[in-house]
Structure 1
Amino acid sequence: MMTTRLPLHVEPYRLAAGEQTLEGSVPLDAMTRLAEEAGPQQGDCEVRLAFGVGPQGRRYIEGWLSASVQLACRRCLEPLPVSVESRWLLGMVSSDALAADLPGDYEPVLVENEQLNLLPVIEDELILSLPQVVYHDEAACAVSRDQLASRPDTEDSDETATSPFDVLRTLKDKH
């Protein structure tokens, strides 16, 4: 478990030139968009970022994160702890036009004024890594499979229900 807080504002071009690696944690409660998506969170997200310069002089950030988040079970809506881990590769660009020139294995990250705020980058990657649907095990869920199954009403059903065409039949028989 990492105890060092990751610096949230960095100079990524300088870090890439020195092929630096940053490791640390980011508090989950600082991620407002994650809270909007998955509810309030507690704990930390462990992060490792390796900055470097690849072939053709392209500067990149190779990232990894790991976190335990609380997501709502889609059956009972109670919190369910979920472990999330993700790896990614970002290509640093200074404009949207340069982002279009990145090879397919890089995702662009926009660096303005040679500064980068890491919190939105890490938060984006964490949100993208969340599973779309989570469920408790059936034995641990407050909602049973029987409660979810659709079944016919148990009320007295009129098996001898009249056909809507009976009226037409009686009219025909009168003639």
Structure 2
Amino acid sequence: MQRGMMLRNLITNPSIQLALFLGLGIEFAFLWRRSTLLSDQYYSDVPLPILLSVPFCLVVGYALAMIWWLIRQTKGQARFTFRFSRARFLATACLAAFIPFAVIDWVPWTPGGLLVMSILPPIEFEGLGFGLLMMAVASMPLYPVAAMIVHHTQNRRWVRLGFLAVVFWSVYFGFMLWFGIVQFRT
């Protein structure tokens, strides 16, 4: 395929157009939020630099476009898409364990991380129950997303892994865009 043809197909693809449009909208919302954070005298965390916000917004826009595409593909197949299977359960468990619920000093805090921290002996941390509770609570709204990803990526395991990674990174970047660089206070 010629280079001009690939570029034209890329530009005219509705999913790519939606991702770019959503990323641009998120960038404008970020710029509005950034000005609010900078003008707030009580806010002491650092807003995300503008050069980093552009790729972050594009990833979040791509994730939203991906979820829109998955919902459109599921139309009329809800009974087959959301039925319980081992792959859907594992995808939901992975998302519930690794989706961050906070990002502090560029480090994502995940329920799975809390679970591992509570099991390791040198660390005195009472987070076992909290980690399991967070995973259970996070798995409820994530099951439809994981089920749609698993259903529409059958026999394409790398695409499935890529979609799950996009969900992780979009939540991570969303936290970074909304809250800025949150730092521990000592």
- Normalising by structure 2, we get a TM-score of 0.25
Pick the structure with more strand per residue.
1
- Normalising by structure 1, we get a TM-score of 0.26
Pick the structure with more helix per residue.
2
Q: Greater Rg, structure 1 or structure 2?
A: 1
Q: Highest relative contact order (Cα 8 Å, sep 6+), 1 or 2?
A: 2
